[in-house]
Structure 1
């Protein structure tokens, strides 16, 4: 067999081992052209394979989108439960404080009544029993204490009962929060698996679709030689690779432009600031210039924490707010940084990417696991603006994505979160404490 014939006998693509036999080789195509029946059978097989491959890719992507939305819904439920827990805890602390203050007031009255000259009967009622509950009963029963003391006792008892009831509610709320945190983590794992499957399906389509279409055209048109068809397949595969490379270059160019724009904006803002008054000092050697462009803010030699973005025009903090799209009052589980689409986003700390894909209302999202139950999330990333993938290790200050406007969003911005064991916390306060 000649070199060209040998090349025809080998598949042009690299398929998964379990599915390699499903795709015909160019040798199969050449043999099928020998008879009308075999040719028609091969045409039918290729037509079905092409349709199945396209459908599998679409189905996998739809499944990834659905899993991402379910993950975000699970996280929203967790945030709601965490908010309820925080509210109950705050109310419990308030009730306990009130009970403690009333207890002090009652104690002060008791101390006053215990002074020399007070009624012996009152002293007996107040101090004849050792248990606090029996002491309060004796206090309320004393006719000489008066209505005001009775009122204080009732208020103290009510506050104590309220604090105890709220403590029980807080315990239940914490259990529910933990349950939903576990559910959110499982939803994240399902979303990550679905996104990986979608990427695999897309890669398989890119490797095989052009080749099979060239094979199909060769079978349908006897004027095309096997060699011509083979070369068409080579071109199709090369074109697919070129498109992928062009998309990567476009992402890099967009990130570079956004970085340059951010640097220019920072320089303009610095120039607009009034000069600080000079003070006598010992001359020192000026620091060397790092050149143009934008870099991650103070990366801490690869081991510290840093802001996820260097320049932004507007900032909205973590906390409860009126949602601009859903029109209800809810927890804003992160911090928002308004910036031009494509502006570089940096890893706030070293870690491992646990998710990179669609996430419902947060659009395209990246989640980084930093260990010890701490994770960071970056939402609304622009289309094709994800530069990392699940399982990848990243360093602090690494450019992982670009600002976007995907999902439920009113403009280009970064939604940034820090979570402790799945529960959202104020990200900027957390970074400030590092």
Structure 2
């Protein structure tokens, strides 16, 4: 969204112009100073109209004042856009760092609970085995055997044998019971650790959520500043040229430029509509193929659809409600690796698909877009919340390549962005992540379980 453009009659005196320039400068400074707030500056800049330019031509002093003012406005537009972009990138990097801490904490908590459950299961099995030993000893006579040995008799030798056997059973039962007690103690300790980790995770998750809100607001402001620059820069430059050169030629060139710009916007709009139509047709064909496969399975049930191959186009799926987010083969997998840009060994939380520059990125499933903006080393980034603790994320999007907004509802296969190489990247590709329960999982196995292959 862009700030409204307000035009007003041009003040005639130089002193008034200077006051106006000062007010504009203060407004720009105020905008930069509010970059950390949650909303753009309320006061829009005031731009001269063509009537203002024409009125300034008659008096040299007014003309020079307006030249200075317009040059200041052009410079201010660029400064505003650059400052907003830098602030959005700074907060995006903070969001990435906070989110990474939350991801690791979630994975730690999940691992502790899994270990606690495993030890509890072993303890339960050991306790059951100790119980079986005790029952077997009871059936064999237990303490009565010892009494029989002490009183002697013809069968004492057999009774001594029985006592030895019972002694071994007792030793085994004691070892099993000790193991059960130990495993139960370990399970309790791990559960306590997991509970403490959960408290830490709650704080880290909230911190990440806060950083995301700040980063999203900064990204929105950066987009607004960019939109304002694009909307007003060409007109201001044409007005400036009109003041320092011939009016008729300049205004004609400006009008031609506006026609070219509008034609380009129309071309892009039609191209986007065509791409969306293609994606929709692809989804319909995939759904029809899945329905035909299901109908052909007979009473015994149909086999699951085969996963798509590595060269599949974005949107290819199996009728499960999940589709491939982009084309290209996997160039880097999930797990710990040496970062190709920084050289640091760290977790690679997703997979990289070697998609072509500016090719389509589509939503892997239906959901709500919860972030659109810079994200540290991931460059331009989109994240989608699919509900039930499941999210997908898409990184390294090309500058100007966002096709969705925060809060937007999307369906599987919806065009959300274009492939790029922003952030820590050595070439155009899509970084794709799957988040479950606050941590990350391997997208290959996650998507494969839903009939989508890479």
Instruction: Give me the TM-score of the superposition, normalised by structure 1.
Output: 0.69
What is the rounded CA distance, in whole Å, between the counterparts of 1:237 and 1:18 in structure 2?
28
Secondary structure of 2:118's counterpart equals: helix
Aligned position for 2:240? 216
Q: Give the CA deviation at 1:165.
A: 0.9
Matches within 5 A, 1:363-402: 363-402=379-418
Aligned position for 1:307? 324
Q: 329, 350, 353: which is aligned to 1:334?
A: 350
Matches within 5 A, 1:244-263: none
Q: Give the CA deviation at 1:73.
A: 1.6
Aligned position for 1:322? 337
Note if 1:46 corresponds to 2:66.
no
Q: Give the CA deviation at 1:173.
A: 1.6
CA 1:77–1:43: 2 relative to 1, 3 Å: same
Contact 1:102 1:152 (8 Å CA) reproduced:
yes
Secondary structure of 1:366's counterpart equals: strand
What is the rounded CA distance, in whole Å, between the counterparts of 1:400 and 1:216 in structure 2?
38
Note if 1:160 corresponds to 2:190.
no
Aligned position for 1:22? 46
What is the rounded CA distance, in whole Å, between the counterparts of 1:395 and 1:73 in structure 2?
29
Aligned position for 2:160? none
Aligned position for 2:210? 186
Contact 1:211 1:234 (8 Å CA) reproduced:
no
Q: Give the CA deviation at 1:204.
A: 0.9
Q: Which segment drifts farther, 244-253 or 169-178?
A: 244-253
Runs (5+) with no aligned partner, structure 2: 1-6, 11-39, 148-166, 280-311
Q: Give the CA deviation at 1:230.
A: 3.8
Aligned position for 2:434? 418
Contact 2:380 2:397 (8 Å CA) reproduced:
yes
Contact 1:375 1:419 (8 Å CA) reproduced:
yes
Aligned position for 2:106? 82
Q: Give the CA deviation at 1:171.
A: 1.4
What is the rounded CA distance, in whole Å, between the counterparts of 1:358 and 1:228 in structure 2?
41
Contact 1:356 1:386 (8 Å CA) reproduced:
yes
Secondary structure of 1:115's counterpart equals: helix
What is the rounded CA distance, in whole Å, between the counterparts of 2:411 and 2:170 in structure 1?
70
Contact 2:238 2:251 (8 Å CA) reproduced:
yes
Aligned position for 1:350? 366
Instruction: Give me the TM-score of the superposition, normalised by structure 2.
Output: 0.66
What is the rounded CA distance, in whole Å, between the counterparts of 2:211 and 2:370 in structure 1?
12
Contact 2:352 2:431 (8 Å CA) reproduced:
yes
